[in-house]
Amino acid sequence: MRNRFVLATLALLCAFTPVSGDDTGKNEQARQMFESLFTPPGQLPVQDLVAEGEELEAEGAGGHLVPAAKAKYYFKAPAYLRFDRVNVNPKQPFLGLLKVIVRDGDSYHIFLTHNYPTKSGIDPQVAPDSLPFSLTRYKKDASREFYYLGSEAWKETTVHRVQILNPADPNWTCVVWIDHQKRVPVQAEYTAAPEKPGGKPSKKRVVWSDVRQLPDGRYFPYQAQIFIDEKLREMRVYKGVRINVGLDNSLFRLIPELEPNH
């Protein structure tokens, strides 16, 4: 019995030991490193998340960031999403209007001033920039392949680069920089879908910072900068992040309550 316990302990240690520089290439440990994001030893994986945030967008020729919306984000595994946004930019239409976006992995619905969707469609099954993309899991993600690219210095820590490819989605590629000690991503570079049909895909880079420890011991970045073709286009600033609070499925039903909660 004791021997089995020792072997099980060694297996867990091996699974969460960062790969060395000699282990570059396709690597199961690279997969485990990615899938353990936001899940330190002894913690359950992220089953749901709720957070508030401020969204800023680049404006004008100078690309200065200005407040665009106050938001509240809901996530429930594997791919339930709800974003409640209130427009705060007086230069944009519908100032002060609450817009709710609900996605369930199969379809999406957008609600404005009433309890019936003003727009519905097929969920694009692309992780939103409003939350770290590693949270959502779509059916096609089961085909992902993970490759360890090595480690490098990042500010005051060492991060590990993991490349993700997906034969089921050949137009999508990603490299993510992981702080394995805190189990958080610090940067990701990936291809973004073209804005117009027939257009060229753009390169997107997201940098996460202001990493803080949550009450349950895990870490989470409270700021995200979003670059498109190396131009800073958007920023997210979070507050009130809570994980595994037991969100009810009613939050993601077709007709959500549209009472502002900001």
Q: How is residue 111 written in tokens? A: 């609600």
What is the tens place of the pLDDT at every residue in 189-226?
998 666 566 777 778 999 999 999 999 999 999 999 99
- pLDDT of 193: 66
Strands 145-154 and 98-103: unpaired
**pLDDT bracket for residue 114 (50, 70, 90):** low
Within 13 Å and on the Cβ side, how many CA atoms surround 262?
23
Mean pLDDT of the chain: 85
* Chain mean position to CA 1: 41
Q: Determine the pLDDT at residue 169.
A: 87
Q: Identify the H or E element spanning 9.
A: helix 2-15
Identify the sign of the CA torsion 36, 40, 46, 51: negative
- Give the pLDDT confidence score for residue 40 in this predicted structure: 92
Q: Is the pLDDT of residue 1 over 50?
A: no
Kindly list the structural domains of the chain, giving each domain's residue range(s) and its CATH number in brackets, ordered by start. 20-252 (2.50.20.10)
CB 57 within 8 A of CB 233: yes
CB hemisphere CA count around 58 (13 angstroms): 12
- The whole-angstrom distance between residue 81's C-alpha and the CA centroid of its chain comes to 11
Cβ neighbours of residue 90 under 8 Å, at least 6 residues apart?
A: none
pLDDT at position 11, please? 40
Burial class (CB in 10 A: 0-12, 13-18, 19+), 206: buried
Q: What is the model's pTM?
A: 0.84
Mean pLDDT, rounded, for 139-154: 94
Amino acid at 81: L
> What pLDDT shows up at residue 202?
78
Beta strands in the chain (DSSP E): 25-26, 48-59, 64-76, 80-87, 98-103, 107-111, 119-122, 145-154, 157-165, 173-179, 184-192, 202-213, 219-228, 231-243
pLDDT band at 13; cut points 50, 70, 90:
very low
Q: What is the pLDDT of residues 162-184, one digit of tens each?
A: 999 999 988 889 999 999 999 99
Per DSSP, the three-state class of 127 is: coil
Alpha-carbon span 194 to 190, nearest angstrom: 13
- The answer to whether the CB of 126 falls within 8 A of the CB of 194 is no
Give pLDDT, residue 250: 87
Phi, psi of 247 (to 5 degrees): -60, 140
